[in-house]
Structure 1
Amino acid sequence: MIGVLIGIVILAIVIYVGVLIYQQRIRRQVVALTTKKESMVAIPLKDELALVGQLSLTGQSLERYQSLQTDYADITTNRFPRIDEQLNQLLADARGVNVLQLKKNLDKVTLLVNQTDELVQSVQEKLASLQEVDKQHREAVQQLEHKYQDLRKTLLAKNFAFGPSIDGLEERLGQLEGNFDTFTQLTQEGDHERAADVLSQLQDDTKQLDDLIDTIPPLYKDLTVVFPDQLKELKAGYQQLSAEHFHFGDQDILAQVTAIEQHIQENLATLSDLRPADAQVVNERIAKQIDQIYDLMQTEIDAKQPVEKNLDGIAKFIAHAQNQSHMLLNELDRLGQNYTLDHHELETARELNEQLRHIDGIYQQDVQTLTGKTATYSQILAHQQQQEKDLEQIEKQQADILKSVAGLADEERQARDTLQQFDFDLHSLRRQVENLNLPGIPQSYLDYFFVVRDEVAQLATDMDQPQIDMERITKQLLIIQTDLDTLREKTEDLVDSSQLAEQLLQYANRYQTSHANVAEASQKASDLFEHQYQYAQALETIATVLDEVEPGSYKRLEDAYYQRKGTDKPHRTTKD
């Protein structure tokens, strides 16, 4: 029981202490809110309202000012007293223990103080804004008035520099001055809301007029001074060049000058309409057209000297190429009677000769225009430059053709010498085989020999034709040389195998009575030798059995054979 009482006492003490602490906190917050309210009171809104009220505001600006006066009255006659009342009541209530009610009242007065502070700040900022706008507008009046005076002075002092644009510029200036008067009146009346709208448009229009005054004079100067002077110079230059018999092909310079003059007049009308951007584009086009005419005339002037200088050189070049062409055609005609020309040499030479005739025709026409003083020098110079390139190419092709046929006679002589050597080699090989006194010749060897013989005979026939095809002859020579080398190898094989086979058969006689296998192999080899003419097989047959009876005998006899013959042993595969 005593413990419960102690607990209740302690709880009561804790609650009491908590209430005291909360009451103290409430009082501190009341002090803070009171201080914030006093700082709002200290703001001199009344004085600022009085200053703005002296601006003689009208229209929307006056309506804004009156709204701010209403806000100020609400702040001073309503909000401030309510704040004081609620703060005093909150201090009185802080002595009680109704914590929930205290919290609710504190939140309420805090919200009121904060809203009032925001309203005070807004009123102060808007009053400052009205003062700043009034200041800016009055400064703008002075600046614009000074600007218009400068623009007016420029138009009056330099009206000659604007040409047909002056009327439009002065009209623009008059419109601006009318708008400026409206702006000035609104500013003086204090209707800054409407004045601001007028000022924005006024500033844009003023900048546009200022830009027009800056950009039009140089464009007008080009159209009335620079371009006409250049066209005058071009006309005089054209007259002088025409008197000196210069011509310009299909370019009508005077018509181009007239067209440019028309463009100038049209562009002056564009300036009169105050469209300098469009006029700038046309001016640039006119300047480019004038430069093109200058370039055209200068091109003809520059072309005259090289044209006259090149005449003699081109004539000699053409004559030399024509002489070369005549010699080439004659040489090809002569060679064509004895040789077949397989690479269209004659057709190509005739085409080159036709090109020369065309080049000479253009050259003669150019000479006539020069003589008749109707020449366009740049065209003739282009002809000459192309003629030099074409003549160089023609002479190169002529030289290539001559080079390709120049060695035909030498090739023929060499081919006949080679043919004679082939015939000698065939006879030599035939005598070599005949001297062996063999019982017969293998058919395979005879077939190959006759093939080579026929090839040599065909070559001789082709060489005796009225027109020799040296390209075909050269191919035949290569084929025959290869086949003859092969025939020579076959002949050597025939000689070696037949001689060795004959020697080994004689050597085998010593073993025929004592070795039956030797007798049998000798019989077989003799048949191959005497009746079938297979000398290599006969050699292999007897050599194999001799090495069985007397190992190394075949190699010894073979080495001795080649030593007597005085040649190296050829590579041959045989059975051991």
Structure 2
Amino acid sequence: MSLPQTIIIISLVLLILIVLIGVVVYNSRLRRKIEQLQSELLELNFAPIEDQITRLNAMSLSGESLSTFTTWRLVFEKVKKTKLPELTQQLTDAEADNGHYSIFSTRRLVNSVNKELTESKDDLVNTAAVFEQLLQSNRENETQLNTLLNRYQTMRKAVLSNSFKYGVALDQLEDKLTEMETDFDTVKNLSSQGDHVEAKRVLTRLNASLTTLDDILPVLERAEQELSDEFPAQLKEITTAYKDMLADKYNFPGTDILEEIKRLQEDLQKARNLQTNLDVGELQESNELVSNQIDGLYERLEREIKARKVVDKETDLLVKQFSQSELESTKLIKKLDHIDQSYQLTHGELPEANQLADEVKQMSADFTTDQERVAAGKAVFSNVQVDYERITKRLIAIQKRQQEISTDVDGLYEAERIAKGSLDNFAQEVSLIKRKIDRQALPGLPTNFIDFYQVVVNEIGELNTELERVRINLESISNKLILIQEDVNRLNSETAEITSSANLVELTVQYANKYIGDGRIKEAIAEAMRQYQQEYTYKRALDTIATALEEVEPGAFNRIEHDYYAQNDK
């Protein structure tokens, strides 16, 4: 036998062994599954359901309850009498097939039994649940019936003993109670006939009806109180008060109050219809709307009463306030007229004061009109109160503004004094600059310095002339003082530069003379002196000699300059 043939034979033998081992293993697994299913079949307990059936049979069920019971009893009997023997036989067949290693047949039987057993268990569980619900329904119905009957009797007694509290709604309430009494009889009949499912439905309806009735009774009671007592009494009170107020010269803006009362009385009649039909939701909305409108009428009356008190109180105060404001307006205008003769009022103070005075006069006229309407009995006091509040607020603002204007113009005298003092100081400062330059005994002064000096002198003279006028503009004067201050500062700076440069030229030339033999120094001294004595350009002359000296003796000019300023600072 060749090697390939040997390998093939060995492979076939191994394959057969593997298949045989697999068959044996699967056969063992099927055997265990069969034993498990047999055990589950033996564990099925029918006794509890049979006990439920016995108890339900004793209840003499009828109607839907009987139909439900019959349906599920058939399900139970099918499981017990038909499916159980069939499943037992199938397991016996499976056990026999498995003993002959008929794997496929055994597996088919095991799967079928497993599926049908699961369905049978579910049927038994559902049957027990339905039967328990039927048994429980009877007990619950009896308990609920007693509870609802007690609620009904209590509620019926309350309604009938307090019938006056519900007014025209009483007839409908009695009809509701009669309907519920009929439902209670229906429940008793259904229970006695064994139709507990239908009895449960009626009990549920009864519970809802009682709950609804329990909810609407307080609403109806409150509505009857409002419609019979509160609203009519309030409308009567408002009518009487309104007529009394008209006689007492009150007037009211907006719609006529008596017309509104008439419309509200019509609304009360409509609410009665809602009450009769037990339209509780709309009845509540209607009464709430009526209540709000009645509150609105009370507010209108109270608003005018309060407004009249305010008007009576504020009238005398406003008379005094107008008198004071008119006096202040006159005083301010006279004061501004007087000041305007000496000062130009550049911010429109006088026109503004006249405008404020005119506004006070107009408000005084409005106030007089209100007083006349009050005296004639034609005034709406709430409108007059609004006028008074507006006038009072504006008078306070006007008085404040008048005081501000008065305070501002009071400062003009002080501003003039300060301006004159400042101008005197500038004149003295310029005079000191002149004397300082004169003491320096310079050969001459730069043309631009002389021109600028003359500009400053002229500015001071012109402003002095302006200050001596009969009527001056202090704002313009203040602006010119600022410019003069800047020019005087510049003049001081240029003066200091001229005098310092001239002095340093002299000191530097004196020091540089010791190097006169140096051509650079000799030439620089000659040029610097020409600039000093002929051009009067003292700063340029200093730059000329200082530059040459630094070339010959570095640092020399810096020492001269430092010593000079140190000495002058002392």
Q: Describe the superposition over 1:227-281 as per-residue Cα deviations: whole angstroms up to 9, x where unpaired.
A: 2222223333334444444444446433333333222222222222221112112
Mapped partners of 2:74, 2:558: distance in 1: 144
Please tell me whether residue 204 in structure 1 is matched to residue 211 in structure 2: no
Mapped partners of 1:487, 1:139: distance in 2: 118
- Residues 543 and 261 of structure 1: CA distance in aligned 2, closer, same or farther (over 3 Å): same
Contact 1:436 1:495 in 2 (8 A): yes
Report what 1:535 is aligned to: 538
5+ residue gaps, structure 2: 1-20
Residue 471 (structure 1) shift: 0.9
Mapped partners of 1:295, 1:51: distance in 2: 73
Please tell me whether residue 62 in structure 1 is matched to residue 74 in structure 2: no
Contact 1:173 1:209 in 2 (8 A): no
Residue 305 (structure 1) shift: 4.1
Mapped partners of 1:261, 1:452: distance in 2: 93
Name the count of aligned residue pairs.
Answer: 546
Structure 2 letter corresponding to 1:236: T
Report what 2:173 is aligned to: 169
Mapped partners of 2:256, 2:445: distance in 1: 96
Residue in structure 2 matching 1:316, options 320, 328, 353: 320
Mapped partners of 1:387, 1:124: distance in 2: 90
Contact 2:329 2:402 in 1 (8 A): yes
Taking only the aligned residue pairs, the percentage that are identical comes to 28
Report what 2:43 is aligned to: 36
Residue in structure 2 matching 1:485, options 480, 483, 489: 489
Report what 1:218 is aligned to: 222
Contact 1:338 1:468 in 2 (8 A): yes
Mapped partners of 2:466, 2:369: distance in 1: 51
- Residues 506 and 121 of structure 1: CA distance in aligned 2, closer, same or farther (over 3 Å): closer
Q: Indicate the larger mover: 25-34 or 481-490.
A: 25-34
Report what 2:526 is aligned to: 523
Mapped partners of 1:199, 1:388: distance in 2: 73
Report what 1:568 is aligned to: 569
Residue in structure 2 matching 1:329, options 329, 333, 336: 333
Please tell me whether residue 387 in structure 1 is matched to residue 391 in structure 2: yes
Mapped partners of 1:536, 1:232: distance in 2: 107
Matching of residues 380-419 of structure 1 within 5 Å:
380-419=384-423
Residue 485 (structure 1) shift: 3.0
Residue 309 (structure 1) shift: 3.2
TM-score (normalizing by structure 1): 0.77
Mapped partners of 1:503, 1:194: distance in 2: 136
Contact 2:38 2:88 in 1 (8 A): no
Residue 168 (structure 1) shift: 2.8
Report what 2:276 is aligned to: 272
Please tell me whether residue 447 in structure 1 is matched to residue 448 in structure 2: no
- Residues 536 and 67 of structure 1: CA distance in aligned 2, closer, same or farther (over 3 Å): closer
Contact 1:270 1:278 in 2 (8 A): yes
Mapped partners of 1:84, 1:542: distance in 2: 141
Mapped partners of 1:409, 1:390: distance in 2: 31
Residue 463 (structure 1) shift: 3.2
Report what 1:11 is aligned to: none
Residue 480 (structure 1) shift: 1.0
Structure 1 letter corresponding to 2:61: L
Mapped partners of 1:555, 1:137: distance in 2: 124
Contact 1:90 1:106 in 2 (8 A): no
- Residues 98 and 490 of structure 1: CA distance in aligned 2, closer, same or farther (over 3 Å): closer
5+ residue gaps, structure 1: 1-13, 570-576
Matching of residues 171-570 of structure 1 within 5 Å:
171-250=175-254, 252-423=256-427, 425-426=429-430, 429-430=433-434, 433=437, 438-465=442-469, 467-495=471-499, 497-498=501-502, 520-539=523-542, 541=544, 567-568=568-569
Residue 412 (structure 1) shift: 2.5
Contact 2:219 2:284 in 1 (8 A): no
Report what 1:3 is aligned to: none
Q: Describe the superposition over 1:37-80 as per-residue Cα deviations: whole angstroms up to 9, x where unpaired.
A: 5x43x4472x6545433434333333334335545654665566
Contact 1:448 1:487 in 2 (8 A): yes
TM-score (normalizing by structure 2): 0.77
Report what 1:10 is aligned to: none
Q: Compute the RMSD of aligned alpha carbons.
A: 4.6
Structure 2 letter corresponding to 1:525: A
Mapped partners of 2:73, 2:422: distance in 1: 133
Structure 2 letter corresponding to 1:217: E
Mapped partners of 2:117, 2:559: distance in 1: 140
